[in-house]
Copies of this chain bind each other. A is one copy, B any other.
Amino acid sequence: MTVASAHGNSPNEVFAAIENASARRLLIVALDEFAARGFHATTTRDVSTKSGLSPAAMYVHYPSKEAMLFQIALVGHSTARDRLRAALAEIDQTAGSAQRLEVILREFTFWHAEHTTVARVCEYELQHLNAEHRAEIDRIRREIEVGVRDEVQRGVDCGEFSVPDVRYATMALTSLAIDIVRWYTPGTGVTPAELADNLAVLGLKMVTA
Count of chain copies: 2
Roughly how many angstroms separate A171 CA and B123 CA in the complex, as a whole number?
18
Q: Count A interface residues, CB 8 Å.
A: 34
Q: How far does the alpha carbon of A197 sit from the alpha carbon of B168 in the complex, in Å?
A: 10
A128 at the binding interface (Cβ < 8 Å): yes
User: Which single member of B169, B202, B207 contacts A172 (CB below 8 Å)?
Assistant: B202
Interface of A is mostly: helix
Contact A37 B197 (CB under 8 A): no
Can you give 12 contacting A-B residue pairs, CB < 8 Å? A38-B38, A124-B182, A164-B197, A165-B198, A168-B199, A169-B198, A171-B179, A172-B176, A172-B198, A175-B180, A179-B179, A202-B207
Cross-chain contact B127 with A168 (CB below 8 angstroms): no
Known contacts A169-B198, A171-B179, A202-B207, then 15 further A-B pairs from the complex at CB < 8 Å, ordered by chain A residue: A36-B127, A37-B127, A40-B40, A40-B41, A41-B128, A163-B202, A168-B198, A168-B199, A168-B202, A171-B183, A172-B199, A172-B202, A172-B203, A178-B182, A206-B206
